[in-house]
Structure 1
Amino acid sequence: MFKYLVFFGVISLFLVQRTAAQDRQYIPDTVLINGDTLLMLGDSLLIEEPPKEIFWTTGGNYNLNIQQVTLSNWAAGGASSFALNSGLSLFANYKKDKKVWDTQLNINMGFNRQEDRDFRTRKTNDNFIFVSNYGRELSEIYYLSTQLDFRTQLLPGYKYTRPSGADTERREKISDLLSPGYLQSSTGINYRRTYENESKVSMILSPFTGRFTIVMDDSLSRAGAFGVTPGENVRAEAGVSLNTSISNFKIMENVTWKADLNLFSNYERLGNMVVNFNSIIRLKVNKFISTRIETVIIYDEEVFIKQDDGSSKQAVQLQNLINFGISLDF
């Protein structure tokens, strides 16, 4: 129950920020008399209040990609399959005087179904990333900022194997919602800059970073998965971090790049980095159709990846997706 409360609490925090944003109000016809702006109401004249400033900007993107292959009596061989990948990205940004508050929520989910497998439907993409950054201006491009970064997945993940001599496949649960979950809080100096082409760069160097690895699944916790002490649900670390993000970088006409890099090193083993890198290249065909090339690279020396031979070892995790389909901006 606790892991679901944490999960929905993060979503609620994002929605509260989003609904706090205000749109400009409709301004009725006005008349200018002796340099003053007046509002006509019946036979009376009222001085119009100045328009309210907009401190919030909100928006997002939804994408959906579907692939289907149907084979019947196909001499070249193969199997019928169906694949679906979907993603939702939301943002809510606040700026007033010397205060800034940027929040992003990214959710991705993908499945693949293939007819010739024992477990036909399998997950191919699943991540939930929530990042919120609050800062106060020190100079035009430098801010004192605090950032909260939360990452997990939504559905159970499995390792599929077919033991030697076995007629059927087996699957082993290796992850779940909040198993793992990563919560990172960092405070430091933030370099922020917006260029004329609307691309943005942000870099936060934080010598004061707390990182918490969460494993709420009892079986994974007992096994000491993801670096937690066997039987424990949370592993706490203190260290230094570097968070870098690039958004809306225009490579060429209708081609943009968005990326973020998160590096963390524990003070007890300074120099051993936890790496999280996410990259999205978007090739926009028109208002509703685009191609997305998504790449995720993760390395954590506390995470041991189970191999096909049954052994486990440290390894670089790589995910690469090329999607063509519907894309809606709002």
Structure 2
Amino acid sequence: MIKKLILFFICVFAGLQIAKSQDRTMLADTLLINGDTIIMLGDSVIIKKAEVPIYWKKGGNFNLSIQQVSLTNWSAGGASNFALNTGLNLFANFAKDEKIWDSKLTVNFGFNRQSERRFASRKTNDNFIFLSKYGRELTDFWFLSTQVDARTQLLSGYRYFRPPGSERESRAKISDLLAPAYIQSSTGLNYRREFKNKDKISIIGSPFTGRFTIVMDDSLKNAGAFGVMPGENIRPEAGVSLSSSTDIQLLENIRWKADLNLFSNYERLGNMVVNFNSIINMKINKYITTRIETVLIYDESVFISQNDGPPKRAIQLQNLINFGIGVDF
């Protein structure tokens, strides 16, 4: 009987020691200073840093591809040329409490140079797109949002042609910086969702949209280019719009980003202005990428010059395949 009692007290004592060692932190003296918790545990000091909330997410991507062909006494024919295409994408997203603010800037530029042509250097890619959206949360995925969409280009654009009977090529200016520029402001309901795998989707429909076409070049505005009245710089419109933004991981190393903007003037409901931008990014390693970029534009107020016949409305399509350097930051 005495042995059993001794064994019982030994077990109880051991249990108390284990519990005491586990609860030392709980029994230690604590002090809170500027959000940091300081715990005195014997002769040791344990500092527990308060978690700092992160409201901003910022980053971007830079890509560059270069191609050069040099021919000397080449019997198969051809022409030496140099081509460059580069792009910069930046984003800054803010989220706090019930407020969001997402901004994105895309700048692309490319040119091709053939020394044997009269106009050796010619643009192949040139666009500037800025999107900014502010919203207040209504439910988990629905927001009341206002979005600003601004688009233009950086350098002059030309149409190249050879006049009848001439042996020399000529060119005519058809666009320039802020000629045209499109600024669209819309307010409406925004469905916005971010998934665990970092896929994102955002759709905003607005019955209250203002769209402004700006032409600052004198020769183009006097000709009434891009739908402005001859001699005027700005063409205002009111209508409805639908915009979407998609960022999806298709495969492990393949990501697809796309932006779609549709606008219809109240005076001609159903006649859509379409702007669609798509980028498929295939990463080979940390720095080498292949990008497939597609831009589709349709605007019934824009008449495209033709090689034969008068200018007419047409779908504008640009497709680029780039292999080169891509850096995420």
Instruction: Say which one has the larger Rg.
Output: 2
Counterpart secondary structure, 1:221: helix
Alignment of 1:16-27 (within 5 A): none
Alignment of 1:230-309 (within 5 A): 230-247=230-247, 249-309=248-308
Which residue does the alignment assign to 1:154?
A: 154
Query: Distance in 2 between the 1:50 and 1:196 partners?
Result: 25
The 3 A distance-change label for structure 1 pair 256 and 49 is closer
The 3 A distance-change label for structure 1 pair 195 and 51 is closer
Which residue does the alignment assign to 1:319?
A: 318
1:282 deviation in Å?
0.5
Structure 1 unmatched runs, 5+: 1-31
1:91 deviation in Å?
0.3
Amino acid at match of 2:297: I
Which residue does the alignment assign to 2:123?
A: 123
Query: Distance in 1 between the 2:208 and 2:29 partners?
Result: 54
**1:68 to 2:68 alignment:** yes
The 3 A distance-change label for structure 1 pair 48 and 255 is closer
Amino acid at match of 2:132: S
1:167 deviation in Å?
1.4
The 3 A distance-change label for structure 1 pair 225 and 39 is farther
Which residue does the alignment assign to 2:209?
A: 209
Alignment: residue pair count: 296
Query: Distance in 2 between the 1:47 and 1:208 partners?
Result: 53
Query: Distance in 2 between the 1:187 and 1:35 partners?
Result: 54
Query: Distance in 1 between the 2:261 and 2:61 partners?
Result: 23
Counterpart secondary structure, 1:313: coil
**1:173 to 2:167 alignment:** no
Query: Distance in 1 between the 2:221 and 2:163 partners?
Result: 25
1:35 deviation in Å?
7.7
Cα deviation 1:67-89 (Å, max 9, x = unaligned): 00111111111100000000000
TM-score by length of 1: 0.86
Is the CA contact (8 Å cut-off) linking 2:29 and 2:39 kept in structure 1?
A: no
1:51 deviation in Å?
3.4
Percent identical pairs in the alignment equals 66
CA RMSD of aligned residues (A): 1.9
Counterpart secondary structure, 1:306: coil
Is the CA contact (8 Å cut-off) linking 2:157 and 2:175 kept in structure 1?
A: yes
TM-score by length of 2: 0.87
Counterpart secondary structure, 1:302: coil
1:38 deviation in Å?
1.4
Counterpart secondary structure, 2:267: helix
